[in-house]
Each structure stands twice: as C-alpha cells, then as structure tokens.
Chains A and B, each alone.
Chain A
Amino acid sequence: MKKFIFILAIFIFLGGLTGMASKPKADVYIKRLKNDHYQLIAGGKVFVVKGVCYNPVPVGKNHEYDWWSDPAKPWIVDGKLMQEMGINTIRIYQPGKDPQAVKEVIKDLYELYGIRTIMGHWLGFWEYPCPFYGDKNFQDRIKAGVIEMVNNYKDQPGILMWILGNENNYSCLGQVNPWSTEEIDQEPNLQKQKAMRAEIFYSYVNDLAKEIHQIDSNHPVALGNGELIGLEFADKFSGEVDLVACIIYRGKTFGNLFNSLRAAFDKPILISEFGADCYDAYKMQEDQNMQAFFLESQWRQVYENLANNKEGAGNCLGGAMFEWVDEWWKHNESSPDTWGVHDTGSNWSNGSYYFDIKAQDNKNMNEEWFGIVALSDDLENGLNKRIPRKAYYVIREFWKNPDSEPQTRNRKSR
C-alpha cells in the first residue's frame, strides 16, 4: 500500500510538472528587463516594430473603398516591396467588413513576407454626432465590436497587437469630437470637467483591455493616444493596458517624449503614427529630401530609445510611420472629382516641419503626400504603379545599419 501511494504521488508530481511545462508562452508579449527597459517579444524573439500605416486606397477612390476585397490584391505587391525595405509590421486602423478577406490579408503578409499586423479599432471616435463615452449603451455597443474583432482575428498567425482608439483623448479635452454628460456639464470647474471625462474614457479603455486579456492572452493591448496628453489620468485608470501607442508629429525630433512618458505613465511606447509629407508647400514642388530627412531623424530617435541603449529612455518598442502610400482622396474628402487628382493643397499647419512653414497662411502639411511610396496614374496588373520615394531607401539603409552616419543632412540646427 505504501509503495502504491508513493508511486501515485510521483505520477501526480510528474503530471503536475509536465502540465506546467506544456502551458504555452504568449505569442507576443512585453518583457520588462532588469534595468526597467522594455522589449517586445514575438515568436520567442526580440521584435523591434519597423512598421508602416497601411491603407492602400487606389487613385480615384476614397476611404470607403474596400481594398481588402480588391481582386488586384495590393497587399501582395506592397508586401514584397515592404519586405525588401525591411518592414516587419503594418498598422491597420480598423479591419475591413469581411473577416475572411481580412484574414487572407493578414495571412498572406505573414506567410509570404513575415510581416505582422497591428489591428486597431476607432472605438467609435468618428461616429456622428460624437463618441458618447459617457453613455452606457454606446460603450456596450463599441465593446461588442471590439470583442468581435478580437475573436475574429486573435488566432490568426501574424497578429502583433491590438490598438484601442487613435487620438480619442482629444475628445476629452473638447478639442476634437467633444462629448459630455449631464453630470459633467454641471461641474463649474473646467479642469475638473476635463478630469471627469478623462476618467470615464480611460476607465472604459481599461475595461476593454481587461476583457480582451481574458479572451486573448497572446497579444498585448495598446492604448491609442494623441501626444502624451491625458496620460496622467491613464496612469490612474488604465493600468490594464500593456503599452501606449502614440501619435506624434513633432518634426525632426520627439523631444523629451520618452522621458516624459516615464514620468507620466510608465508603460512602453509604440510610436504608432509619425512621419512627414514630401510636398514643399512653400516652393510648391515635391521634395523627397525633406521627407527623407524628417523620417530618418525620427527613426534614429526611435532606435535611441529602444531597450539597452544607455543614451535613451529604453521604453520604445518601435514605430509605425505614416504612411505606406499616398492617399489621393484626403484633401477634399467630400468631393469625388478630386479623388483622382493628386491635390497639393493643405488644410493644416505645423511649424515643426519648418522647411515649408513659410507657405501661404503657413499651411504646410499636405495630406495627400505622406506616402513613402508614390502612386502613379499608370496601372500595373490592375494596381496603381508603386514608385518608392527616397525615404523608402534611406530608412531601408538605416535599418541595415542603425549606427551609421545620417544619410540626410540639415546642418543649420541645434
């Protein structure tokens, strides 16, 4: 009898051990190193996100075009070019309508070119009249959409992470798509109003992140945020998110971004949208050098702040530059006549992009010219011909040898 119990105990013990050994590690997860730096691990290896925002709308169409189902399969052509450049990730703001089509794209990019997909969700930011984050029904409806997305794609090899929202935090400040609740409106102190909205929004994102973690332990969840604005509230209410995905347009430098993030909300950061346009609105001509200069400078700083670099904050996981190809519909969204024209107009101004800040009314940001790959009117196998710009090559060379001297120059700067 004693012998039997002893053998049983050993079996149970061994069974327990093998059980523990067989629990799989997440496909993608964030590792905090001993020096408090952060790394992204994907497929068991350190993964620096060398990404690009991807929305290949053909010339003549707008954002409603369902490129996921395009028989010409732009992602096949683009994927090859991306692979040759060294891109390992695409960022999608929101999946297409047909999950099968979306899965096919994710699969093709991953299996053919080793390119992973960051999948995002707008969290209803663009809904008319505004995103009612203070309303339970709205919250529930959006949550359902998010969970559906995760369920659809979580098992798709090639998914890298989820991003919740984009620059939705600006709606808490009343700057873009402002929303409110009765309770908030009754609060006389404006700072407090801001704080109340932020609490609602960041708590909501936290809640979403928690639910996603319960159904998908394989992929990190990112909080999409415009700049670092509001992250002091995320620190209090969004602890469940794994990282922050920030949209930053600060020209040639991210400034004190990485250290500021450490101080405000100590999570790793993915710069999920950054870049430069290649149209000089002052000289009124294309300027590929200008775009290449800004992008190279930006990528250098991303690399400076990767883990284990003594010079930086060690909290950057990489970036997804905006964007892969030009989108010819953006300058005048409501006018279909213009979607087939490569408009050179500009609706906004950013002094950090100082090469052409002297443009009329200082409007120097040309929405239709942010691609690192240009599109031609000419078709090649049913797709607008892709013509890589200088930035494509400059970044390609940089990634091959990040310690090399800069290839683009601007001597007059501090």
Chain B
Amino acid sequence: MRSLRLLLLLAFSFQLSLRQAQGTSPKDTERSRSAVYSSFAQQDDRLVDLNKQKEIYFADNQYSEFIELLNSKRRKDKDIASYIDYYIALTRYHQLKYLEEEQLWDEYFNKGNDYRNDIVTKTDKVIKATTPQEDLRIYSELLSWQYHKDLADAFEEEALANLMSSVLEHSKKSSDILMIKEVADRFLLYGLKQEPKKLYKVYVDKIASTDIEDEELTKIAKGFYDEGNLGLAQAIYDVCIERSINSKTKDQAIDLLSEVARLFAYKDEGVKDTDYAEGVFRNLEQLGGEEAFDQELLYLRAYNLEKAKDYLKTKDNYIDLLMRYPKTAYKDRVLYKLGIIFTYALRDIKSGRVYFDQLAQREINFSPHVISGLYQLGILSQWERDSASAKEHYNKLLELAGEDLSETVVLTRQRLNEIDQGKPLEYNLKTFLNVSLKDEYSALDMSRVDLRASLYKISKAESVSVATTAYAMQSGCMQVDLEYLWSGNIGKSTPSSDQLSFDTSYADPGTKEINLVVVSATGIVERSLDLLDVQ
C-alpha cells in the first residue's frame, strides 16, 4: 500500500509537471504519452536510459535513427527485447504521425507500409510474450488499438475488446492504477464513451479503497480539476468529502466542502460546474447549517444559482443574505437583482417593486443600483400607463444621477421623451414587459432560449459578447426565421432584430439587465434575460 502511494505520487506528479510543461492540447498530450510509461521504466536502469534517449530523439524527430539504436540494443540486451520491440512499434507510430503532419509524403508513402508492418508485428510479438498483469502488455495493446483505430480498419473492434479485457484483468491485481486512468484518458481523447466511463469508475473505486491520505487524495482531485477533467475531479472530491464527513471534525469537513464549492461555483474564467457546486453547497448547509456560510460564501451560492438561471433558488439565497447580513456590501446589488428576478423571471411585479422601492427610498449613498432601481420603477409605471408616477421616478433619477451614469440617464431621457410626446414605450422593451408580466404569456418560462454573455463581471469599457441559442425549434416545417428583440441595459451596442449575438461595453458601473424576446413569423416564441455586473 505504501508503495502504491509512493508510486501514485511519483507517477502522478511526474505526469502533472510534464503536462504543465507541455500544455494539454490533444497534440501535446499525444507527445507526452511517452513520459507516463516511466512506471515500468522505473524497474530497470537500462529502460530509464532508453526512455531518456527516446525523448531526445523524438524531440528532434529522428525516428529512424532511434530505431537503429533500438536494434543495436536488442542485439546486446536480449532480456529486455520485449521492451525494445514495444519502443520500435511506438517510434514507428510517432514517425508516421510526424510524416503525415509535415506532409512528407515521399517517405510516408514509400516507406509507410514497412513502418506499419513494424507496428503490427512488434506489438503482436510483445502481446504474445506477456501477460495482462504486465504493464508492457497493456501499453502494447493500447498502441495496437490506437493504430487500428486511426486506420479505422477491420481489426479495431477486436483490438479494443482485447485491450479492455486486459486492463480490467490487470486492474484486479495490479497496484498501478494510474495506468487505468491513462487508458481511459486515451479512450476519451478518441471520443469513446462507454469504455472510459467504465475505466474511470474502476480507477476511482480503487483510489477510494486505498489508505491514501486525505491530503494526497485532495491533491489528486485538484490535479484533475486543474486539467479540466471535471468528471474525474468531482468523483474524487466526492470520495474526499465522504471521507472527511466520516473521519474528520465538523469544521474540517466544512472547510473542505467550502473549498470544493468555491472551486466549482460559477466564475467567468476557468473551470466551473454550477450544478455540482450547488450540490456541494446543499451538503454544506446540511452539515453546518447557516453558520457554515459567511456573507461571501452566501453571496457566491446565490450568484452561482443566478448564473445557473435557477431564479427561484437564487432569490431565496439573496433574501437569506440580506436577512443574515443586513449591512452587507452587496446590499444594493442584491436588492436590485431581487427586484429584477421577482418582476421579470418570476412574474411577481408586486414583490419586485418592494425591492426597487427599497432602493428608491434611499436618502443617502446613492449607488448605481439606486439609480437603476428608480429606472425600473419608472418603466413599470410607464408600462402600466401611469405616466405621472413614471415621470416622478425618472425625474428623481435625473436629479440624483447628475453627470454620472450617462447610460441610464440616456435611457431615462428616452423614456421621458416617449411620455412627453405621447409615444408608446419603445417596442422591444414593451414587448419584453408584456411577455414577462402578462398572464397570457405565462408559458414562456425562458427555457427555450439560452442567453449567455462571455463575461458576467466586467470593468467599465470592457468588451463583452452576448449571444443566444434557441432550442426546441422542431416542427417538421420549413426553416423558421427568427427575430430577436433586444432591450434593457445593453450598453453602447444597438443590435438589430436579425442579430442573435452582439458585442457591447458599458460606461457606467452597476448591474445591467439584458432582455430578449424571440419572435417567429407566427408569434412570440420565448423570452429571456441575463444580468451582468459592471465594476
């Protein structure tokens, strides 16, 4: 067991550092494959040397030269002949890939058959000379399968079946669980689905059953997270969490859960999984209750749900935040978001107004959200045809905003102009308000359209892309032409109705709501909204 841990750590950290050095694109991952084979290389100095030499020759694409070296070693060191055979096959494989990438067709075609023959005969030889318990067997079968898979030939299926069988047999007795993951990773790279799932499960089960220390296990989980392998990271974090709940103190378990939740909660850059994060938050709540959440964590939970577009739960958590931390620095922002969520996402204009009113009645500290709250109250009144109230809100807004917050001021002036000239509310905005607030549109639950911004926390003047994808356009009928009615606070851009995406930026800080109504020739298809925070 101890050796297992050591092995895991050694091989894993070696692999990690190599990945970090070489990047994790599929091409780079291909080239770094060779490094992981150090597990059997560790057993014999000659193999360690061979591996080092391989790296040197491969770096310079001197494949034929390396084959010559291998053949000379084969004559001298007959007891490692199988390893040498494997390396010959591996070298030819990489050589063919190199020739194809560089379009060196002369050699690729003139010598290609010979090189392919080397791959097939050498891997066959090694497979016959080894048992599934030996790592060399697995790597040979892996290479053989990859070769046949690349060619998509008649042997591919059989090679896959043999490989799976050997790996599973190998995993029963061997302590080298990294190799299982290596094979699973390769399967995933090739787009297979069932086989990697099966192997990852074996891998995680094996890890869970060892006495590897919790800190090391957490490191492994973090390593997969850093690689972007979410599924595996989550599976191992689940094991970590289970262990910490069972064996650690409550505080330690809470710390771990908080850390994991933060890792997976929504953020603009980097890895995230809002569903998984909320799952962890739920567990944290069950374990530690309210006390487990400081205001940052509580805000993060609500924000995560907001980005997952689960507005019902979002509002519960924002309300919770305000109740537990009435002086929170997020107060105005949260009040505004609650106003928007209640009014437009949940169709509860009455509750929404309550939150906007809390902002509007502020007598000091007029944050940008106060201004925006007044604007919302204004347009709601205007939509309800209560021009007097609308004007009142707008005028107060102009008074408070002064020279600042030019975007909201511009919008406000447009609204006032509409009222003064007896014009209706701007068409796109009015349509959005209609479909969001009128009962007859209650079936439009924002699920048929996905509205996404490239960033949700931006600085002033920072560019952001907003795009929508419409789903569920299945009708069996002819191509549906859609119109996109954009409204709300969309910054300096003025997208037209045929644009399903646009770039914009904002001059003012605050929370910006982007509204969308999607219309087809036969009527309104869906609505959606999104919220951005401008610092």
Instruction: Check B153 against A393 for contact (C-beta < 8 Å).
Output: no
Residue A409 lies at the interface, judged by CB distance under 8 Å to chain B: yes
Residue B109 lies at the interface, judged by CB distance under 8 Å to chain A: yes
| Distance to closest chain A CB from B98 (angstroms) | 15
A-B contacts, 9 of them at CB < 8 A, read: A388-B105, A393-B105, A393-B106, A393-B108, A393-B109, A394-B109, A396-B109, A405-B153, A409-B151
- Take A396-B109, A397-B109 as given contacts and tell me if A390 and B152 are in contact as well, using a CB distance cutoff of 8 Å: no
Which chain A positions have C-beta within 8 A of B103?
A: 288, 390
| Distance to closest chain B CB from A381 (angstroms) | 20
Instruction: Check A409 against B105 for contact (C-beta < 8 Å).
Output: no
Interface string of B137-168 (1 = CB under 8 A from A): 00000000000000111000000000000000
Nearest chain-B residue to A410 (Cβ)?
B152
| Distance to closest chain B CB from A371 (angstroms) | 14
Interface string of B97-110 (1 = CB under 8 A from A): 00000010110110
Q: How far is A248 from B106 in the complex, measured between Cα atoms in Å?
A: 30
Best-buried of B103, B105, B106, B153 by chain A (most CB within 10 Å)? B105
A364-414 interface (Cβ within 8 A of B) = 388-390, 392-394, 396-397, 405, 409, 411
| Distance to closest chain A CB from B103 (angstroms) | 6
Size bracket of the B interface: under 10
| Distance to closest chain B CB from A406 (angstroms) | 9
Partner of A409 from the list B108, B109, B152 (CB cut-off 8 Å) is B152
Instruction: Check B152 against A392 for contact (C-beta < 8 Å).
Output: no
Interface residues of B (CB under 8 A from A): 103, 105-106, 108-109, 151-153
Which chain A positions have C-beta within 8 A of B152?
A: 409, 411
Q: How far is A288 from B102 in the complex, measured between Cα atoms in Å?
A: 12
Interface residues of A (CB under 8 A from B): 288, 388-390, 392-394, 396-397, 405, 409, 411
Q: How far is A411 from B105 in the complex, measured between Cα atoms in Å?
A: 23
| Distance to closest chain A CB from B381 (angstroms) | 47
Which chain B positions have C-beta within 8 A of A388?
A: 105
Q: How far is A288 from B100 in the complex, measured between Cα atoms in Å?
A: 10
The total of interchain contacts (Cβ-Cβ below 8 angstroms) comes to: 17
Instruction: Check B105 against A390 for contact (C-beta < 8 Å).
Output: yes
Nearest chain-A residue to B152 (Cβ)?
A409
Q: How far is A411 from B191 in the complex, measured between Cα atoms in Å?
A: 14
Which chain B positions have C-beta within 8 A of A392?
A: 105
Which chain B positions have C-beta within 8 A of A390?
A: 103, 105
Q: How far is A392 from B109 in the complex, measured between Cα atoms in Å?
A: 10
Q: How far is A397 from B106 in the complex, measured between Cα atoms in Å?
A: 12
Nearest chain-B residue to A392 (Cβ)?
B105
Instruction: Check B109 against A389 for contact (C-beta < 8 Å).
Output: no
Nearest chain-A residue to B105 (Cβ)?
A393
Which chain A positions have C-beta within 8 A of B109?
A: 393-394, 396-397
Which chain B positions have C-beta within 8 A of A396?
A: 109
Q: How far is A397 from B113 in the complex, measured between Cα atoms in Å?
A: 11
List the 9 closest pairs (A to B, CB-CB), nearest first: A393-B109, A393-B105, A409-B152, A390-B105, A411-B152, A397-B109, A388-B105, A288-B103, A405-B153
Q: How far is A66 from B258 in the complex, measured between Cα atoms in Å?
A: 78
Q: How far is A280 from B109 in the complex, measured between Cα atoms in Å?
A: 23
Nearest chain-B residue to A406 (Cβ)?
B152
Instruction: Check B105 against A389 for contact (C-beta < 8 Å).
Output: yes
Given A393-B105, A393-B108, A405-B153, 13 more A-B residue pairs with CB atoms under 8 Å apart are: A288-B103, A388-B105, A389-B105, A390-B103, A390-B105, A392-B105, A393-B106, A394-B109, A396-B109, A397-B109, A409-B151, A409-B152, A411-B152
Q: How far is A86 from B172 in the complex, measured between Cα atoms in Å?
A: 55
Which chain A positions have C-beta within 8 A of B108?
A: 393
Q: How far is A394 from B103 in the complex, measured between Cα atoms in Å?
A: 12
Q: How far is A105 from B151 in the complex, measured between Cα atoms in Å?
A: 41
Q: How far is A390 from B104 in the complex, measured between Cα atoms in Å?
A: 9
| Distance to closest chain A CB from B101 (angstroms) | 11
Q: How far is A393 from B103 in the complex, measured between Cα atoms in Å?
A: 11
Nearest chain-A residue to B154 (Cβ)?
A405
Which chain B positions have C-beta within 8 A of A409?
A: 151-152
Which chain A positions have C-beta within 8 A of B151?
A: 409
Q: How far is A394 from B105 in the complex, measured between Cα atoms in Å?
A: 9
Nearest chain-B residue to A396 (Cβ)?
B109
Which chain A positions have C-beta within 8 A of B106?
A: 393
Q: How far is A389 from B153 in the complex, measured between Cα atoms in Å?
A: 24
| Distance to closest chain B CB from A63 (angstroms) | 29
Q: How far is A393 from B107 in the complex, measured between Cα atoms in Å?
A: 10
Q: How far is A157 from B151 in the complex, measured between Cα atoms in Å?
A: 44
Nearest chain-A residue to B110 (Cβ)?
A393
Q: How far is A379 from B109 in the complex, measured between Cα atoms in Å?
A: 26
Which chain A positions have C-beta within 8 A of B105?
A: 388-390, 392-393
Q: How far is A288 from B103 in the complex, measured between Cα atoms in Å?
A: 9
Q: How far is A388 from B105 in the complex, measured between Cα atoms in Å?
A: 8
Q: How far is A393 from B152 in the complex, measured between Cα atoms in Å?
A: 20
Nearest chain-B residue to A390 (Cβ)?
B105
Q: How far is A169 from B152 in the complex, measured between Cα atoms in Å?
A: 42
Q: How far is A179 from B153 in the complex, measured between Cα atoms in Å?
A: 53
Q: How far is A97 from B109 in the complex, measured between Cα atoms in Å?
A: 39
Which chain A positions have C-beta within 8 A of B153?
A: 405
Which chain B positions have C-beta within 8 A of A394?
A: 109
Nearest chain-A residue to B150 (Cβ)?
A409
Which chain B positions have C-beta within 8 A of A288?
A: 103
| Distance to closest chain A CB from B114 (angstroms) | 13
Q: How far is A396 from B113 in the complex, measured between Cα atoms in Å?
A: 14
Which chain B positions have C-beta within 8 A of A393?
A: 105-106, 108-109
Q: How far is A390 from B100 in the complex, measured between Cα atoms in Å?
A: 9
Nearest chain-A residue to B109 (Cβ)?
A393
Q: How far is A396 from B112 in the complex, measured between Cα atoms in Å?
A: 13
Q: How far is A411 from B106 in the complex, measured between Cα atoms in Å?
A: 26
| Distance to closest chain B CB from A64 (angstroms) | 33
Q: How far is A409 from B152 in the complex, measured between Cα atoms in Å?
A: 8
Nearest chain-B residue to A405 (Cβ)?
B153
Q: How far is A396 from B151 in the complex, measured between Cα atoms in Å?
A: 19
| Distance to closest chain B CB from A89 (angstroms) | 22
| Distance to closest chain B CB from A291 (angstroms) | 12
Q: How far is A240 from B360 in the complex, measured between Cα atoms in Å?
A: 94
Q: How far is A388 from B109 in the complex, measured between Cα atoms in Å?
A: 12
Nearest chain-B residue to A292 (Cβ)?
B105
Nearest chain-B residue to A389 (Cβ)?
B105
| Distance to closest chain A CB from B112 (angstroms) | 8
Q: How far is A393 from B104 in the complex, measured between Cα atoms in Å?
A: 11
Q: How far is A409 from B103 in the complex, measured between Cα atoms in Å?
A: 17
Nearest chain-A residue to B108 (Cβ)?
A393
| Distance to closest chain B CB from A388 (angstroms) | 6
| Distance to closest chain A CB from B31 (angstroms) | 21
